[in-house]
Amino acid sequence: MAKKIVLSIVLLLVLGAGGGFAFLVLKSPNAAAPSSIKVEATPERLERGKYLFEHVADCGGCHSPRNPEKFAAMAPPERIGSGWSFPKELGFPGVVHSANITPDKETGIGTWTDGEKIRAIREGISKDGRALFPFMPFQSFAKMSDEDLYSLVAYLNSLAPVKNRMPRTELDFPVKYLIKFAAQPVTAKVSAPDRSDKVKYGGYLVTIAGCIECHTQLEKGELVKGMEYAGGHEFPIGNYVVRSANITPDQETGLGKWSEDRFVAKFKGHVNLTYENAPRSTQANFTIMPWHAFAQMTEDDLKAIYSYLRTIQPVHNPVDVHPALAPPQS
């Protein structure tokens, strides 16, 4: 998206403020018509789709009302997929609401065709043709294989409908116009990744799981170059603040000294975590890392992720993950 924003700023300058403004407002997003595909729901697809939805892409992590008072800010299970209004402390350029993506006909996506769902998930265009705010990671989901995407859609169609009307996202100027440049049709077939190549398959999972987005600091809405996976991205939610950890292979400040066993065990340590038994949040344990979701990944997938993370550039960046908060002003 960065390049495209720069391009549009250049255009603004070239066309002059007036012409540039009209161009931005009138330009329609880069959208293709949705395909007419009807996804067949085989048992294999439903199983794979559930796995992707719940444990890899963690769609529920953004599309459910997360409760900051629960460990890992878990959301109540009966509200999964029904949408979330993002806390304004997160500093978005406007008010961002993820949508209700359950099949409810009035308030969810129950009347959408499969082609429209696919277009939203990987091309960033809503049913009505509006461009989606790219915090919805459609640019990463564009790398999801066609078969994985069909599995995901089959599973989405099988969710229990939840009635919950979500407000529309309202972005500030000029972001509300610039996002039109982020939408991008996917025209080529996306084939399944080769699972025998552990590093490559790990990279595929890491892309879909959005590790980089949470584990990299942002500056003006963009990931800071050279700091990929080095942590320090701050999430203030409710009464708490957490910063993401450095997960590069740096020896002192990252996962350099972590064995594969330790990595897998860290995730599997949360395998029995549920909304009901989740401990209460405190500033010392507060996190939005979806441990409950990722803990259910297969050991093979966690090992593939570990292998991939070993190959990224180590970055020395000490992070105080649970900073002490100043006592509230009275």
Count CB atoms within 10 A of the CB of residue 292: 25
Q: Return left, alpha or beta for 287; rule: phi > 0 is left, psi -120 to 50 is alpha, else beta.
A: beta
**C-beta of 10 vs 90, nearer to ligand HEC:** 90
Tell me which stretch binds ligand HEC (CB under 6 A): 20-28, 38-46, 193-201, 288-296.
288-296
- Compute the distance between CA of residue 138 and CA of residue 30 in angstroms, rounded to an integer: 13
**C-beta of 21 vs 135, nearer to ligand HEC:** 135
- Compute the distance between CA of residue 208 and CA of residue 187 in angstroms, rounded to an integer: 19
Is 49 near ligand HEC (CB under 6 A)?
Answer: no
Closest C-alpha among 254, 10, 12, 42 to residue 155: 42
Site string for ligand HEC, 257-286 (x = CB under 6 A): ---------x--------------------
**C-beta of 18 vs 40, nearer to ligand HEC:** 40
Question: Using CB under 6 A, which residues numbered 84 to 123 contact ligand HEC?
Answer: 96, 98-99, 101, 109, 117, 120-121
- Compute the distance between CA of residue 61 and CA of residue 277 in angstroms, rounded to an integer: 18
For ligand HEC, the binding residue among 209, 227, 264, 273 (CB under 6 A) is 209
CA-based torsion, 299, 305, 311, 317: positive or negative: negative
Q: Return left, alpha or beta for 282; rule: phi > 0 is left, psi -120 to 50 is alpha, else beta.
A: beta
- Compute the distance between CA of residue 141 and CA of residue 239 in angstroms, rounded to an integer: 32
Is 211 near ligand HEC (CB under 6 A)?
Answer: yes
Closest C-alpha among 131, 155, 194 to residue 56: 155
- Compute the distance between CA of residue 111 and CA of residue 90 in angstroms, rounded to an integer: 31
C-beta of 73: minimal distance to ligand HEC in Å?
9
Is 206 near ligand HEC (CB under 6 A)?
Answer: yes
Size of the site for ligand HEC (CB under 6 A): 43
Closest C-alpha among 208, 197, 200 to residue 145: 208
C-beta of 322: minimal distance to ligand HEC in Å?
7
Is 230 near ligand HEC (CB under 6 A)?
Answer: no
Is 293 near ligand HEC (CB under 6 A)?
Answer: no
C-beta of 169: minimal distance to ligand HEC in Å?
3
Which stretches of the chain bind ligand HEC, using CB under 6 A?
A: 57-59, 61-63, 96, 98-99, 101, 109, 117, 120-121, 126, 132-133, 135-137, 141, 152, 156, 169, 206, 209-211, 214-215, 235, 242, 244-245, 247, 266, 287-290, 294, 305, 321
